[in-house]
Amino acid sequence: MTTVYLAIAEVKGGALRQVSFEVITAARQASGEGSTVASVLIGSDVSRFANELAAYGADHVYVVEHNDLTHYNAEAYDASLQAVIQAAQPKAIFFGHTSIGKDLAPLSAASLQAGQISDIIALETDAASGSILYTRPIYAGKAFEQRTFTSAQSVVTVRPNNFPLPSYETGRTAPVVNIAYPASTLRTFIRDVVTQAAGRVDLSEAKIVISGGRGVKSAAGFKPIEELAEVLNGAVGASRGACDAGYCDYALQIGQTGKVVTPELYIACGISGAIQHVAGMSQSRVIIAINKDPDAPIFQIADYGIVGDLFEVVPLLTAQFKQQLKSGSVD
């Protein structure tokens, strides 16, 4: 019997989230020779994404569609996933380490009586035992640990922006298995969803993040940061200090009590570098700090530092990037 690894896909704003493809990569790396990696789509009108998942490497696509699944509801989604698990009998299930994944993964692990490893950033095969070692950051990113499973089945959540996207094969197809929605009496209902206005780029999956701290001084102080983010096609983030001061919405908060981001480029503007904030962005590939205080802790982890007023430096950077992009010297 073929061993199955499930990769849970997520849809947001009418499109598949990037992490939907990254979990395929993680599942593929963990699977053995001859194993099957199957994507799972749960929602309303989501079967249209099956071909895209197949093009990114899914061998099968399981689909559960129903009006009850239009908005995320833990009860309904868990029941739907249990129906998929019953049909697929997977060895492992991979989720994105997102708000949905962090909520749904423990429910699946509990129902399967399986172990769970959360927030992994890499995996490898142990040469001695042949078991899979999963790497995850601990102590606010100051250290890393490797864990493995002893249970027959396993549940894993994958931190976005840490696994490469699988190759896209135009025209590649995969069998689609439609699973009937297991109608059950729901104790909770989602009547409506009110969302805050957000940027064009998903913060948790952005390749470039420009963040502001208390140094922006006001809500209007985020304007130059937003302009730079727009030029670089990046996302805007913030420290908790900026959020607590009312300069921006808490949806932008990065840190120990906010979002964890791992972009290719992180630009910290007017952020001192408190350990709580560093916990959410220290794994960024390249960190640039802009601060008037040369002794600010953020410079200790920054790859590049600019000592200066962000209201002078950021507009200069924006103008320079605009010029470089116009000339075609920047990708």
> Do the annotations mark residue 277 as ligand-binding?
yes
> Do the annotations mark residue 200 as ligand-binding?
no
Q: How far is CA 86 from CA 35, 89, 104, 107, 153, in A?
A: 18, 6, 16, 15, 13
> Do the annotations mark residue 276 as ligand-binding?
yes
> Do the annotations mark residue 328 as ligand-binding?
no
> Do the annotations mark residue 82 as ligand-binding?
no
> Do the annotations mark residue 291 as ligand-binding?
yes
> Do the annotations mark residue 285 as ligand-binding?
no
> Do the annotations mark residue 271 as ligand-binding?
yes
> Do the annotations mark residue 51 as ligand-binding?
no
> Do the annotations mark residue 255 as ligand-binding?
yes
> Do the annotations mark residue 254 as ligand-binding?
yes
> Do the annotations mark residue 239 as ligand-binding?
yes
> Which class for 296: exposed (0-12), middle (13-18), buried (19 or more C-beta within 10 A)?
buried
Residue indicated by tokens 């780029």: 201
> Do the annotations mark residue 196 as ligand-binding?
no
> Do the annotations mark residue 125 as ligand-binding?
no
> Do the annotations mark residue 233 as ligand-binding?
no
Contact 232, 210 (CB under 8 A): yes
Residues contributing to the annotated binding site = 214, 239-240, 253-257, 270-277, 291
Residues contributing to the annotated binding site for FAD = 214, 239-240, 253-257, 270-277, 291
